[in-house]
Amino acid sequence: MPYIDVFNGDADGICALHQLRLHNPQNSSLVTGVKRDNLLLKRIIATRDSTLTVLDISSHANRDSLLQLLKQGNTVHYFDHHFAGEIPESPLFHPHIDTSPDVCSSILVDRFLSGKYRLWAIVASFGDNLHVSAHELADSLKLDPKKTEELRELGELINYNAYGETIDDLHFSPEVLFKALQPFSDPFEFYYASGELNQLREGFRNDMGKAESELPVRQTSAGRIYQFQNQAWCRRVSGVYSNQVARKAPDLAHALLVERKDGTFLVGVRAPISKPQGAEKLCIKFSGGGRAAAAGINNLAPEEVDRFFEAFDLQFTI
């Protein structure tokens, strides 16, 4: 039976799959994309009688394709922490779904594997801006601060690589980056040996240097909203920059609008870290989605921006 691995191109999706394939290697076909390219099951809609492993993409957003794939005799193993909606019922469906704001898909895989490759779950947790969860996992392994800091940088750099409108915006396609990880069961070996990581580190430094000069376009008691231009560096840095400003003001919500080539906006929302709820509720109102702590909108029309601002304030004003 053919194996197909479908995974989000961010740190969480990559590290979740890496843990599973370290445990159970398979000659799988890989299906992935940029961070926001999450309707990945549409790409394999004709697949029959295969084993699918799906990681870190919303089952709610992919529901129609998922139901069709189950009807076609595919066995589906699903690990995710995004808004799920109604869970399909099928003997072929094996869900591992937890939408709690302090977990990511790699933590779900870590639980499934009883902590076998926990270092990679720590990498993913840092990448997903779940620093408290990451430190708790690091403490369970009694990691020293230097090692923990190296895993933080690794997670943030892998995650940084996922953001863009198309693969052309990225330094590496997520498939290439995943394959670069595959020989390494120990993330510290990858950290010191990887040429890819050096390139990401340099790109991250350059892009963040530009982003840190930007000021909010709107600031209220609810939070801060930033707006970036239609440039590749703006798209690349959007996720890690959003996470950074959220950590610096943990009691505020944050949003970042990045102009797309068609004039619409790609929007990222971070709920206050001190109260990680409501991001997905806001974004669903604008045909977006995500999870309670962090969510997004792929195409916000310019004429909807003012309504988004008002909804943001309403959602996050205490």
Residues 265 and 196 in one domain: no
Of 147, 171, 201, the position where a domain reaches its end is 201
Q: Answer yes or no: do 163 and 39 share one domain.
A: yes
Q: How far apart are CA 171 and CA 70, in angstroms?
A: 35
Report the CATH number that the domain containing residue 277 is assigned in CATH.
3.10.310.30
- Residue 43's CATH number: 3.90.1640.30
Q: 318 pLDDT exceeds 80?
A: no
The 3-state DSSP class for residue 93 equals strand
Whether the pLDDT of residue 77 is over 80: the answer is yes
Residues 266 and 140 in one domain: no
Round to whole Å and give the CA distance between 227 and 111.
38
Range list of H helices, 90-183:
105-112, 118-127, 131-140, 145-160, 174-181
Residue 36 located in a structural domain: yes
Given this model, what pLDDT does residue 39 score?
Answer: 95
* 129: confidence class by pLDDT, cuts 50, 70, 90: very high
Please indicate, yes or no, whether residues 197 and 225 belong to a single structural domain of this protein: no
Are 30 and 164 in a shared domain?
A: yes
Whether residue 274 sits in one domain with residue 171: no
- The secondary structure of residue 49, as a DSSP letter, is S
Averaged over 160-177, what is the pLDDT? 96
Q: How many domains, in total, are found in the chain?
A: 2
Choosing from 144, 169, 201, the residue where a domain stops is 201
Q: What is the DSSP letter of 87?
A: P
Task: Reduce the DSSP state of residue 43 to 3 states and report it.
Answer: helix
**Do 254 and 148 reside in the same domain of the chain?**
no
Which tens digits make up the pLDDT trace of 256-276? 999 999 999 999 999 999 999
Rounded to the nearest integer, the mean pLDDT of the chain is 97
Q: pLDDT value at position 1?
A: 79
Positive or negative CA dihedral for 316, 289, 291, 185?
negative
Question: Is 210 among the domain residues?
Answer: no
Asked if residue 209 belongs to a domain, the reply is: no
Q: Are residues 193 and 279 in the same domain?
A: no
Read off the pLDDT of residues 285-303 as tens digits, 9 standing for 90 and up: 999 999 899 999 999 999 9
Confirm whether 211 is domain-assigned. Answer: no
CA distances from 182 to 19, 61, 187, 194, 214 (A): 10, 29, 10, 12, 37
pLDDT digits (tens, 9 = 90+) for 208-257: 999 999 999 999 999 999 999 999 999 999 999 999 999 999 999 999 99
Confidence of residue 314 (pLDDT cuts 50, 70, 90): very high
Whether 295 is covered by a domain: the verdict is yes
Domain housing 268: 218-316
> What mean pLDDT comes out for the span 32-55?
97
Residue whose pair of structure tokens reads 């919303």 in the numeric block = 58
- Mean pLDDT over 194-220 rounds to 96
Is pLDDT above 80 for 73? yes
Same domain, 72 and 144: yes
Q: What is the pTM (predicted TM-score) of this model?
A: 0.92
Which H helix or E strand runs over 226? strand 223-228
24 lies in the same domain as 105: yes
Residue 288: inside a domain, yes or no?
yes
For residues 143 and 87, membership in a common domain is answered with yes
Q: Among 176, 201, 226, which residue terminates a domain?
A: 201
Segment 152-177 mean pLDDT: 97
Q: Would residue 120 count as lying in a domain? A: yes
Same domain as 236, residue 299: yes
